[in-house]
Amino acid sequence: MAILNLISLLHTLRSSTPKSPLSSFRRRSPIFSGQPPPSISTAIDHNPLLKDFKFPPFDAIDASHVCPGMRALLNKLENDLTELERTVEPSWMKVAEPLERITDRLSVVWGAVNHLKAVKDTPDLRSAVEEIQPQKIAFGIKLDQSKPIYNAFKAIKESQDWSTLSDAHKRIVESSMKEAVLRGISFEANEREEFNKIQQELAKLSKRFAENILDATKKYEKLITEKKEIEGLPATALQFAAQTAVSKGHENATAENGPWMITLDAPSLVSVIQHAKNRALREEIYRAYVTRASSGDLDNTPIIDQILKLRLAKAKLLGYNNYAELSMATKMATVGKAEELLEKLRSVSWKAAVQDMEELKQFSRSQGAPEADELTHWDITFWSERLRESKYEINEEELRPYFSLPNIMDGLFNLLKMLFDIDVVPADGLAPVWNNDVKFYCIKDSSGAPISYFYFDPYSRPSEKQGGAWMDEVFARSRVCSRDKTSVRLPVAHIVCNQMPPIGDKPSLMFFCQNLCYDRVSTIFHEFGHALQHMLTKQDEGLVAGIRGIEWDAIELPSQFMENWCYHRDTLMGIAKHYETGECLPEDMYQKLLAAKTFHAGTVSLYQLKYAILDLELHSKYVPDGPESIYDVDQRVGKVTEPIPPFPEDRFLCGFNHIFAGAYAAGYYSYKWAEVLSADAFSAFEDAGINDYKALRETGHRFKETVLAHGGGKHPLEVFIEFRGREPSPEPLLRHNDLLQTTA
């Protein structure tokens, strides 16, 4: 329904998938060999980006290091590429391994810069990235379009030794050749020049798009001085609003007496939309949110138009009818198969969502709401929460004290020990961090040996940190890029969230079953699922280790799989302990949470389906400069995905980072595609016996040795069949969402 604009974005923000920088593979040795020129030597000595670090020196990197460091690095890598092209031979050691070393250092250093830009943004850092980005992209294009490297891979595939190569090596060769074609290697000079200009411009536009969203979000502030205006907001929200006011210069602000600062940062926004009795306030903040970055200097509308034009031009240069076809060239699905799945789920969800809306109207009418017969976009979430509270006797604010971040992490780590026989132990101080709130951990196997590491950055910092939640790579597992020749380099990950920070003596308290907010228990489990696939891989070939080389529409399998464990009784009871008393969540409350699990499941399903369908429409059927605008398409799709009329002024597209500044262009359907896989994977544990710990450990071991171990070294369908013993079925997903009866 209409509030899906807000809810879907918040859901997608908290479920952001791993970002994909250019192959992250680190050199074995310092980036310079021999005696470099004095100026370069000085750069090495004083620039932290150019050190041969074990972990990135996040505490030492600043904007002044970016341009000189990247220029020195790119110049060196240009020379390395020239030497590789001169000496390349059609053998694995002569082409794949040198290529991995070149791409590794670039992705590690550039990844560190972009990570800081996402979590510690400054105007100087933005300017530095903007200045050096064209040179970095130009090098990437040159690497992508290297004919000597392409021809060497082609010769390997055509050689008599092809049949003796491992599955991973074959996947690397075939995907490298396909990617080279999709990146313009076959173009003649004029076409190549046009293609490369498109690539540069798309990168520039995506960067501006994301920056406009961040700036527009920071720009909105509403100071409230009368408590009656925010009646209904729970104590936690009032404390956060007062804390925000203090940070904005209102030193005497208190939760009891104000003033209170409301922003578009999710913890603030969601509290108002869900709890404020003041309908005018809900309307104001809703309108502000769904029109972010759609006017003035921060207007993303012309950027979207230009991105869509350039993507279409790029697709046609490569011989595709539209960008969706180009996107699907490296995915499991086809455009037709993706549309077929989305329509099947839409029709099932629509029937249920219409019933949900009628129930909501009847309930609000029974409560004497004057807007009951005309519920609109800023009413749906408010009345949904009141209905859920009434129907299941669940109050989210009463639940939150049971879900403190420290307890959630302990419970998650206990689950991982049970399922995968690994230990997660603090390793603070081992690696530099960018903020004092960031924690560093080591994962050890059953023998106590380290197998991976990760950073965890949990709290919202709206003045400098991108919204949402995501997992990203620092280092990939790699045999070639190990620091010594007798072992592999261990993977390292980032896990980033934007939860409400501790307030006074209170720890960060999370929502449990609130559908519209990423500040949930399941957010942690989701992002950790991504990280597990990266960190528990047993694939030593860096180009397909962990999340690398996996078809994008399968990438959400482990993340969505992990979310299911939030409702597992022993897991939930292990994390749900009152932060003050230590009391476990009462049994009757657990039963209520189970009962409420599928509350308005059809409506929730439509939230993502709308944007998956809209994404494909814009990238397959939309005609730039044609009779329809992007907002006309949005409204048209809304009519078949929103049980109430779409909001005419909706400009949510201007804030849709996933498809205009992320990796989900013509790929947002991947959430639903992978949800089929993840639900079926979890059903294997249900079949084994969800309370039989011996069976769970055995099934967990099989999941670990297949889905989490193989990386991109095997096709995801083959991996799934190896784990499940058959091809995936949509039945578990419909069953988990209580939608099976709707299909009858």
Which residues form the catalytic set?
527
Sign for the CA dihedral angle at 9, 11, 14, 16 comes to negative
DSSP 323-355: HHHHHHTTSSS-HHHHHHHHHHHHHHHHHHHHH
Residue environment code for 418-440, b if the CB has 16+ CB neighbours within 10 A, otherwise e = bbbebebeebeeebbbbeeebbb
Rounded CA-CA distance 317/348 in Å is 38
CA-nearest of 145, 550, 633, 552 to 326 is: 552
Tokens of 365: 């009418």
Q: Alpha carbon of 101 to those of 44, 440, 453, 486: distances in Å?
A: 18, 26, 21, 17
- How far is it, in rounded angstroms, from Cα 89 to Cα 97? 12
Rounded Cα gap, residues 195 and 317, in angstroms: 7
- Number of Cβ within a 10 Å radius of residue 649: 11
Q: Are 499 and 561 spatial neighbours (Cβ–Cβ below 8 Å)?
A: no
| Per-residue burial over 339-359, b = 16 or more CB atoms within 10 Å of its CB, e = otherwise | bebbeebbebbbebbeebbee
Residue 653, SS3 per DSSP: helix
DSSP letters, 230-262, are GTT--HHHHHHHHHHHHHTT-TT-BTTTB-EEE
Residue that has been written with the tokens 């059927």 in this structure: 621
Closest CA to 211 of 301, 293, 115: 293
Q: Does residue 450 sit in helix, strand or coil?
A: strand
275/271 Cα distance (integer angstroms): 6
Question: Token pair 């030492």 is at which residue?
Answer: 60
Q: Give the whole-angstrom CA distance, residue 235 versus residue 175.
A: 53
Nearest CA among 727, 721, 718 for reference residue 167: 718
User: Which of 716, 724, 721, 714 is CA-nearest to residue 538?
Assistant: 714
Q: How far apart, in whole angstroms, are the C-alpha atoms of residue 272 and residue 253?
A: 18
**Where would I find the H helices in 552-600?**
557-563, 569-575, 587-596
Are 435 and 119 in contact, with CB atoms under 8 Å apart?
yes
Q: For residues 434 and 457, what is the distance between their CA atoms, to the nearest angstrom?
A: 9
